[in-house]
Chain A
Amino acid sequence: MLKPTSQAKFIFATLAALTLPMAAHADGERIAVFTKNQTNPFFQYVRLGAESAASQMNAKIQHYVPTKPDSIPEQISQVEDVVVKRPDAVVFIPVDNKAMVSSVQKMNAAGIPVVNVTDRIESGQIVSFVGADDFSLGLETGRFMLKAMGGKGNVVIIEGVKAALSSTNRVRGFRKALEEFPQVKVLASQPGNNQRLQALQVMDNLLQTHPQIDGVFGTNDAMATGVIEALDAANRKALVVGINGTKEAVDAVKAGKMLATGDYGSFLQGCFGTMSAIRYLRKMPVEANVVFPASLITKANIAAFDVPAEKLVCPKWESLIATK
């Protein structure tokens, strides 16, 4: 009932399982990488980063992605299965920073080192945390847009999935930025659930009630681009910012449709998360806490980010120290 390709995978996987001894060793460590879903480009970049890092340090990557996007029960099950398989280390993006604590503790109990990426887990022992600060991203992107608006006018917020931490923090950041610009009025804050179509239709509807919208803050790029489509269709103009720095957002910024997008450093998160894991196994020093400073992708610095995914390669570990 399986396609030939996946049968091939079976065989490969079993070979791997048989040939590789359990203990850690200087080479070919098996790193299990957990991401939230297969549909959001952000996690694709994380996975690419992880693979690039692994190939540089010749370790092996195994990806674990819930079949239902962001499904908590499924990620828990996957952790349980991984504990059975005992990889040398785990690079872990929890689908929920609280609900996954028990799973992290399971891995701790099994003695598998865990590097926490993107969303900071509430508790449980981790080798290191590698991620960006959603709050300051929201703050910086917001600030940038509000400045561009000349500190006055009307804005709307398109929220992400209610249950997701990153969205909430980004909104919090943006609201903080708003405090600096008292003349800016928030007309509405409505849910787009990280879905392009929903964001678009929500924007459609908001455009009806609000004749004057000067700025839109989308908590991720997919929604921001959805908003842009809505604006185009209605022949309305407004400054739009998103967060994540995905390919399409970069293109939109280049085309001048989007004002800016917060750089979430997804690829780098994959790189340094994986590097930290491997370095830890190889008894090399690692940073306990790597948080990328919030940076923006704007027309000014666009060139640096306009690189196709397959061309991306992880920078050296040392460059990380330099950025701090």
Chain B
Amino acid sequence: MNDTQVARPLMRLITHVPGVTWVLLMLILVFSSLSGNFLRAGNLANIGEQSVVLLLLALPMTFVIMTEGIDMSMGAVLSLTSVVLASTLVATGSIALALSAAVLIGLAFGVFNGGLASWLKLPPFIVTLGTMGVAQGLALVATDGDSIIVGTQLTRLYTTQFLFLSLPMWLAILSYGAFHVLLQRTRFGTYVCAIGGNRDALTLAGVSAGTYHVAVYALSGAMAGMAALVLTARLSAGHPSAGIGMEFDAIAATIVGGTSFERGKGWLLGTLLGVVAVGVLRNGLNLLNVQSAVQVSCIGLLVIAALLFDGLKDRA
């Protein structure tokens, strides 16, 4: 058994590098060689800003999946919270108030999901599928399908530059940092891993696994509220269907990044890479003006290719 050496941080990094890393490198290579615009600072900023919302969703999704769960309601909750945020902003004119309202609503949905999944032991997939419908419905009821325009103040916030980066970028960076610390250096992170890996062990250690399990979903809901801020600012409007289907992108980015549905195996950096890879691909294909139908297929191929790399690595 010389697995022992394998686990030294550096070695661990190398063996853990998911296929997406290589795919990402290839994409960057191809696009930068084919399109003069690709590596322009402006365009890189584009890719960054286009990836922020997805990252804010994919980070908590990674945690959820590490607990052997899934949150299908994320996209719908994102839409709902963006509507809530927009209407509160219009009503009160206070961004802080609007944001907290959105985060609270998201939190509520998260707690509901977590409660059913953890305490009642219902299958998360179907539960969150249900809450997805609920959130969608509420968003429609609240807006009657119309979008809610918000004032310029949010847009101004969105475009504010600070140390060469726009605020959304900073939000993304901070969130990633926060989640990294959360996973590596806090009880919460350790227990997230344990819930998926061996829930009984956690309970026997006197930790109330249920509470942490719910907290994971709550976090995912709250982050959806956070993402709503960026999304709404981006649209300068709240829209009842703006976030539809985003949960799948988040899941894909997470899995492609090397996180697994089993035994609490998760890798946060992989998730980041996954998110960026999707952003780079879409942006590059647009720059090269690849026909949209082909773009659609490319996204599928990206996912499969990344997994293939992993497969080869495992076999080697």
Q: Which of A's residues lie within 8 Å of B, judged by CB? A: 1-3, 5-6, 9-11, 13-14, 16-18, 38, 62-68, 70-74, 76-78, 80-82, 84-85, 96, 98-102, 122, 161-164, 168
Please tell me if the beta carbons of B40 and A84 are within 8 angstroms of each other in the complex: yes
Q: How large is the interface on B (under 10, 10 to 19, 20 to 34, 35 or more residues)?
A: 35 or more
From B35, B242, B301, give the contact of A14 (CB < 8 A): B35
Indicate whether B240 reaches chain A with its CB closer than 8 angstroms. Answer: yes
Point out the residues of chain B lying under 8 angstroms from A68, CB to CB.
244-245
Of residues 284 to 307 in B, which have CB atoms within 8 Å of A's CB atoms?
286-299, 301-302, 305
> Smallest CB–CB gap between A240 and chain B, Å?
24
Interface residues of B (CB under 8 A from A): 34-37, 40, 42-43, 46, 49-50, 53, 140, 144-149, 155, 231, 234-237, 239-242, 244-246, 282-283, 286-299, 301-302, 305
Chain B residues with Cβ below 8 Å from A168 are 145-146
On whether the beta carbons of A62 and B289 are closer than 8 Å, the reply is yes
Contact A9 B294 (CB under 8 A): yes
| Nearest chain B residue, comparing its CB with the CB of A11 | B34
- A2–B298 touching, CB < 8 Å: yes
Is the beta-carbon distance between A163 and B145 smaller than 8 angstroms?
yes
Bound-complex Cα distance A319 to B258 (A): 60
16 contacts between A and B (CB under 8 A): A6-B298, A10-B34, A17-B37, A67-B299, A68-B245, A72-B241, A73-B231, A77-B286, A80-B46, A81-B287, A84-B43, A98-B239, A122-B149, A161-B241, A162-B145, A163-B147
* B49 surroundings in chain A (CB, below 8 A): 80
Chain B residue contacts of A96, Cβ below 8 A: 147, 235, 237, 239
Partner of A102, one of B35, B236, B244: B236
From the candidates A10, A74, A84, A85, name the one contacting B290 in the complex (CB within 8 A).
A10
Contact between chains at A17 and B35 (CB < 8 Å): yes
Cross-chain contact of B240 among A63, A82, A162 (Cβ < 8 A): A162
Q: Which residues of the other chain, A, contact B53 by a CB distance below 8 angstroms?
A: 73
Q: How far is the CB of A166 from chain B (nearest CB, A)?
A: 12
Are A73 and B234 neighbours in the complex by a CB distance under 8 Å?
yes
- How many Å from the CB of B130 to the closest CB on chain A? 19
Would A13 and B237 be within 8 Å (CB), given that A85-B37, A98-B149 are in contact?
no
Cα A153 to Cα B25 in complex, Å, equals: 66
- A18 contacts B36, CB within 8 Å? yes
Q: Pick from B239, B297, B302: contact of A72, CB below 8 A.
A: B239
Alpha-carbon distance between A101 and B240 when the two chains are bound, in angstroms = 16
Asked if A81 and B46 make an inter-chain contact with CB atoms under 8 angstroms apart, the answer reads yes
Find chain B residues with CB under 8 A from A1 CB: 298, 301-302, 305
